[in-house]
Structure 1
């Protein structure tokens, strides 16, 4: 990177560490396959002359743990082991909230209480699953299921147990075997392994530190137990951008990134998908997750459109703006050194039958363009304006499934005449024809034989 870019990034990290009195702070920027830059300030053990953080220093990452649990759940979905609309009771009985769906637990829309009953779970040794279930009465529902976004750490404790139930092993074993090992994330663990930072609370009115405990959270561990490093989290940022290494379909990760609920209403600057936080910042839609546990704060954020991402880790309980820091680092890099678009390359050949389908189609009187994409995918978009459009993936003979935007999940079907030629397209009952309101196509509503007024 340019020296000016690197200095601007280090200046931002240094200012955050000094002004917010972080014992230590380490950050990094990622783009595509590369860890472009990393920088660090401070001391990891709270002394005045101890070691500085490196990209291999472990920090507790708190609720970033939830993103890993969500991926485990989505793997089960993609394998057909569960459906996101399944109620919890179908797979994990004995709770007072078995009517909630898997999707509601993933997106924090089930209405469950934010924290487990009893002691502050983040600073106390955790109990097992039976104790958590026993503590959760029906009164722990704070909102009607599906009513609104309400962040629930408990919900992810439940999802961790759901993974264990369906895999026949504990969620940590599933995590290691299904995600960490395939991605080469060898320094992401449930407990600290040297070298690691010590967690501290910084006194609000004096420059002194109080060590924070880091107990095992028991049944609540899926909500925030993990420790990780810059190196490992850089790989996770790449994963969230779509470089999944075969662990999950990139389409499924894109599904996870889409906001299922927003946190700030009409403003829509922050939302939540299926295990991932969504952000809108300066015209970009970012995704990732923050994390906080006593003694630690963390943030991972990426712009999937450019694959530019950032992460930040600190060993302070509160007061360090890691979320703002990561978005600022992305902005600095994209402003100073914007990513170049991938070069266009031609395809070696095109399917003749698909190529014949491309071009102009009409929904009623409105012109659309059908384009052929690599892999036999299609793009159907209005020729002007911002009307309904989508990309479509092949889903069988003469059928495609919508991937995004208005027609996501809907089926596009090609209809043919007796001669085998394409007569019209049917998309969720909307009929697309080669000419406006083609009389030969089954357009409902009385077309008066489909004739437009003409002079004879």
Structure 2
């Protein structure tokens, strides 16, 4: 077994091994394999197995189920970045005749399209895709369960529609487009729609006895874009690096960051420490750490991929059992082990190579009414706005190159910040989405909406 173990401290390696050993034993998985990525490289690989003579390594394929959805989402974001589709487009604009065409592309990506969770019987995960040759067979007579755009409701048929959208726009099969546009550029040579040796077999473990039953491995047909793929810890580790950093051959860093932004909340019953759904990615906050990734399951297999951009650590966990260990939870725990035992070493502080003096003069304290904020210049040429007290709206803003900035996150995402100057060139105030920020609370020299009491500040009158 290749381990790359010289990258981590011995105590960290043992803690990782202990976590997957507990997961495999308590989850009664025939085999469980895991990988950890740090700083863009696989630094640890481990496996536990109860099958004699079968020790899975980073090249053994397992079925990854709904992690397939993240791959499909990447294909859709590529169409958006090329200007072929807009995420706000109704499906009908590009894929007419489905009966659910009012659902938007973004809604399907974020599971807010109102579609049913599953296709009509028989259970699509355990029966041949040939039983559902048309989209109508996937959607059924009543494809909607909720008003479009009203709530988060996880939908496998929704991702079947996105796969069909890709095929319609590209004029090729989803599998062919995926291979050409994602798998080959990222070097994911062991990710495929059908199993390729060496691969694990899928098993069901009896809930009340330590015996197993072989599970069928069906070709999902029209549902392939929701859960068809087979992959390895080696390939998924590389995919996790891509989801954290982007790759201009596939998607930019900005676009994968957009995938990691919340687009829909989780159901209230599912929220433990805070969770949501982005564009093809599950988002969870565990122990104060924001994780992005996806879980996956198909009869005989469980899969989990999680990454923490802040810690620059990712983990992949695969098992070959229908039910058992929570692979996403195990992946999250592996990230926690590394991040806490060997915290990321920050880059050394370096002064900016140059600074625009007209921007530098904007740095410092500002007030929105009576609430204090601090504007800071960031190393990437943008600015950040943070409350002085630590409580309040905060945002990072990118420079537009013309003396204005656009919000990247938080309340001010998409809003425009500009410095308003007096005729003599001095700064009067900042305008951020119509909010007036002044150097002093309710500065009488600035055009504060509603005006400022001419009697000024005073005690009780």
**Candidates 290, 293, 296, aligned match of 1:285:** 290
How far did residue 318 of structure 1 move?
1.2
Name the counterpart of 1:154.
157
Q: 2:196 aligns with which of 193, 197, 200?
A: 193
Q: State yes or no: 1:28 paired with 2:35.
A: yes
- 2:48 is aligned to 41
Bigger drift between 190-199 and 174-183 goes to 174-183
Partner of 1:275: 280
The superposition leaves residues 3-47 of structure 1 with CA deviations (integer Å, 9 ceiling, x where unpaired) of 22211211221222223221111011111212121111116xxxx
Cα distance in 1 for partners of 2:175, 2:447 equals 55
For residues 455 and 68 of structure 2, the distance between their equivalents in structure 1, rounded to whole angstroms, comes to 59
CA shift at 1:396, angstroms?
4.6
Contact preservation (8 Å) 1:289, 1:300: yes
SS in 1 for 2:380: helix
Aligned to 2:344: 339
Gaps of 5+ in 1: none
For 1:64, the equivalent position in structure 2 comes to 67
Equivalent residue number for residue 5 of structure 2? none
Contact between 2:119 and 2:140, CA under 8 Å: does it hold in 1? no
Cα deviation 1:237-294 (Å, max 9, x = unaligned): 2222234455223233222222321223575533212111111211112111001011
Contact 2:420 2:431 in 1 (8 A): yes
Post-superposition offset of 1:391: 0.8
Residue in 1 aligned with 2:118? 115
**For each residue in 1:153-187, what CA deviation from the matched residue of structure 2 results, as whole angstroms up to 9, or x when unmatched?**
00000011111222222222222222222222111
Alignment of 1:87-126 (within 5 A): 87-126=90-129
Does residue 322 of structure 2 align to residue 312 of structure 1? Answer: no
User: Are the aligned partners of 1:402 and 1:409 in contact in 2 as well (CA < 8 Å)?
Assistant: yes
Number of the residue aligned with 2:371: 366
Deviation at 1:448, TM superposition (A): 4.3
- C-alpha deviation, 1:451, in angstroms: 5.2
| 1:394 is the counterpart of 2:399 | yes
Deviation string 1:160-219 (CA, Å, 9 cap, x unpaired) is: 111122222222222222222222211111111111111122233443332222222111
2:267 matched to which residue of 1? Answer: 263
TM-score, structure 1 normalization:
0.92
Distance in 2 (alpha carbons) for counterparts of 1:57 and 1:323:
19
Unmatched runs of 5 consecutive residues or more in structure 2? 1-7
1:376 partner SS: coil
Cα distance between partner residues in 1 of 2:121 and 2:286: 37
Query: Is the CA contact (8 Å cut-off) linking 1:402 and 1:408 kept in structure 2?
Result: yes
Q: What is the match of residue 307 of structure 2? A: 302
TM normalised by structure 2 equals 0.91
User: Could you report, residue by residue, the CA deviation over 1:122-158 in whole angstroms, capped at 9, with x for unpaired residues?
Assistant: 1222149862225535622112223322111000000
Per the alignment, residue 142 of structure 2 pairs with 139
Contact 1:302 1:308 in 2 (8 A): yes
Alpha-carbon distance in 2 for matches of 1:244, 1:449: 57
Q: Which residue of 2 aligns with 1:378?
A: 383
Distance of aligned partners of 1:243 and 1:73 in 2 relative to their CA distance in 1, 3 Å threshold: closer
Hey, what does 1:323 align to over in structure 2?
328
Give secondary structure in 2 for the equivalent of 1:357: coil
- Asked whether the 8 Å contact 2:246–2:252 carries over to 1, the reply is no
C-alpha contact (below 8 Å) 1:264/1:270 kept by paired residues: no
2:23: which partner in 1? 16
Q: Which residue of 2 aligns with 1:232?
A: 235
Are 2:67 and 2:294, in contact at CA under 8 Å, matched by a contact in 1?
A: yes
Cα pair 1:365 1:437 within 8 Å, conserved: yes
Counterpart of 1:375 in 2: which secondary structure? coil
Q: What is the alpha-carbon root mean square deviation over aligned residues?
A: 2.2
1:81 equivalent in structure 2: 84
Distance in 2 between the 1:396 and 1:164 partners? 38
Bigger Cα displacement from structure 2, 286-295 vs 366-375: 366-375
Contact 1:64 1:290 (C-alpha < 8 Å) held by counterparts: yes
User: Which of 173, 177, 180 does residue 176 from structure 2 map onto?
Assistant: 173
Moved more, 206-215 or 83-92: 206-215
